[in-house]
Structures are given as structure tokens and as C-alpha cells.
Amino acid sequence: MHDRLSAHRHSAVKPVPLVDLQAQRRRLGKRIDDALLRVCEHAHFIMGGEVADFERRLAEFCGTRHALSCGNGTDALLLGLMAKGVGPGDAVFCPTFTFAATAEVVALVHATPVFVDVLEDTFNIDPDSLINAIETARSSRLRPVGILAVDLFGQPADYQALKDIASQNGLWIFADAAQSFGAQYRGRRVGQITEMTATSFFPSKPLGCYGDGGAVLTEDDELADRIDSLRIHGKGSNKYDNVRIGVNSRLDAIQAAILVEKLAIFPEELAARQLIARRYSDGLRHVVRTPRIPNEATSAWAVYTIVVEGRDRDKLAAGLKAAGISTAIYYPLPLHQQTAYRDFPSANGKGLPQAERLAQSVLSLPMHPYLDEATVDRIIDEIRWLARS
């Protein structure tokens, strides 16, 4: 009976995508077209002037000295670890509730990712679990060197708590801000909170290009020089003077030109995301568990994720799908349980229960700056209706 009623209610309703990149395209169409044409006309596609222009604007936006673009967000993480000299025998601590790229880069430099549990209310790395993970690493005769903290769904991790632990244990902190670019922590923008920050310009990210792209942000001149070398085959004075083993990871001029135009409207889009998130939270706080943002932080709202316990999550997702409303599950399986990563150590050498519970209960709703109030209200009303049925 419920399925028939639902089909009748939604027979002529417009589908709602998780992210609507076409809406932004309609706003920026001519500006993007003109920017692309300029690149095509000068034909300096690799490391053209648009790349340097974008890096300068990006650093200014974040309030940091250096912004070094690269091929994608995963490469940004990899370049940072290479610049720090991470290698065999080193332990790098990362949350298990994240995308594979976070741990993947640690393994790629032949170091050991050590998985840490997360906090259920913020989805970010749990400081208490981190302390346990450090002891686990030492008991495994690994050398603790750094923390790869993830700002999941757009909210910065609790960096003050992490810095206290890092200073007590001689660790550096590298922020994986693929989802939080544009957010703030204690009045400081993402990009100036830690020694290094990596971000991604994958199309669905808060600041996305029309393909792959990424960047590393840092205040450290020496790190910046090293990353600049590493991203172009370990160049020295020029690309034919190779002073270290590097990689080929450059942002092309076409993507940089697109990002310059997108960065110009990015503050407006961040403000729109805040309003949409607030509307979601006001409408859903008594129906499901809504995201909690501590007073000292703001979120970039890359994703708006609710928590729905048990099998009710899958039932709600199916109901929303029937109503033409897209949802996603980020992430259905924590890294420490995945085939490629399950042999790496975890805090306490045991399961990571908070991440395991979240994987069974999180559900991400449509989120982008061009969601209108009527569409948000439709999603809220549908969730309320499904929760009652």
C-alpha cells in the first residue's frame, strides 16, 4: 500500500540530483567559455599563466603563503607525504571513516597507515582513539611521524586537540581538506590551520573544476619549494635538472582558468550552502540525527549527512529514491574492514566501533549552492512522511 501511495504522490515530480553542476554552469556559462577560449588561443596548456594566477588567488583566499596546484587531490596528499620524507617504518595515523585515498597515499610511500576511530557527532578523528593508535604503532615497532586528519563532509577536525597530542608525541599534522575547503576553525580558514593542507577540485567538491585537480597549501617556504620540485619530476633549476625522484602532477591551464572564475563566486556559494544546511537542520532535527558543528568551526557543507539508525537508513534511502530524490552513503565500509587495508594496524588492535556504526547509519542528502527553498522543503517533507510511515 505504501509503495502505491508513494508512486501516486510522485508520478509527476522533478528528480532531485545529489549535486547539480549544470545549475552552476548556467550561472557562469559565458565567463567559463571566455576563459577557455583565452587558453585555447594562447595554447600554453601546461603550466600556463592561468595556473600561476589561480595559485596566487587561492593563497590569498586562504590567507597562506603558498598554494601549489597539482593533478588531483590524491596527488596533493602524496606530494605532501613525499615532501616530509615519509617512508618505510613510519606510522601515519588516519581515520578509518574516509575515502580510500587518505590511507592509499601512506601505503604508496611504503609507510604504514594506522587506523583511528572517529567521533559519532562530528564524523572526524577521535583524539582518544588517536592516543591509543600511537601506542599501537609503538608496540608494533613502527615510528610514529604524523597525523593525516580528514575534515569529513566539510567540517574541520578538532585541530587544537590534535595539536596537543601531536606536540606531546613529536608528530606533524597534515590536513586532508578535500571536502572542507572554504570552512574555518577558530577564526582561521582551512589552508592555514596546519603545517600542510591538501585539497581536491574534483567536480563535486565545494570548489570544483571540470575534471581532476588538487592543491597543497602551506606557510613553509622549504616545503613549498620541495613540493614544487616533486610535482614536476623532481626538478631543480629547470625540468631537465632532476635533483630528487618526483612525479608528474600538474594542474593544466584549462582547469586553472575554470577555477579562477569559480573562485570569484565561491564566497557566495559558501553562504548559500550555510542557508541550505540550516534549513535542513531546522526541518529535520526532531526526525533524524542532524550534523553538529561546534561553535569554534564552520563547515563548507560539501555534503549534508544525517544519521538514521539500523535498517531504517536503507528504508529511508529507498523511499527517497522512489520520490526522485538522490541520496548517497559515504562511506559504506570503513577502511580497516576493506580488503586492501584490513591487514594494517588499528587503534587497540581491535575494531573501531564508532566508524562501524556510522557506516551502517549515515545518509547524505542533496547539497549544492543552487538548491532552492522549495526543493529543500520537499526533501524535508518527504523524510518526515517516510519517518511516519
Domains of the chain: 2-11+266-388 (3.90.1150.10), 26-116+124-262 (3.40.640.10)
Nearest C-alpha neighbor of 248 from the set 105, 86, 103, 79:
79
Q: How do residues 76-123 score in pLDDT, each as one tens digit?
A: 999 999 999 999 999 999 999 999 999 999 999 999 999 999 999 999
Q: How do residues 274-286 score in pLDDT, each as one tens digit?
A: 999 999 999 999 9
Q: How do residues 185-221 score in pLDDT, each as one tens digit?
A: 999 999 999 999 999 999 999 999 999 999 999 999 9
Is the pTM higher than 0.85?
yes
Q: Is 283 exposed, middle or buried (0-12, 13-18, 19+ CB in 10 A)?
A: middle
Whole-number CA gyration radius for the chain: 21
Q: Is the pLDDT of residue 178 over 90?
A: yes
Asked if 297 contacts 153 with a C-beta cutoff of 8 angstroms, the reply is no
Task: Indicate the pLDDT class of residue 20, thresholds 50, 70 and 90.
Answer: very high
Q: Is 91 exposed, middle or buried (0-12, 13-18, 19+ CB in 10 A)?
A: buried
List all residues 6 or more positions away from 60 whose beta carbon is below 8 Å from its beta carbon. Answer: none
Phi, psi of 369 (to 5 degrees): -65, -10
Q: How do residues 253-272 score in pLDDT, each as one tens digit?
A: 999 999 999 999 999 999 99
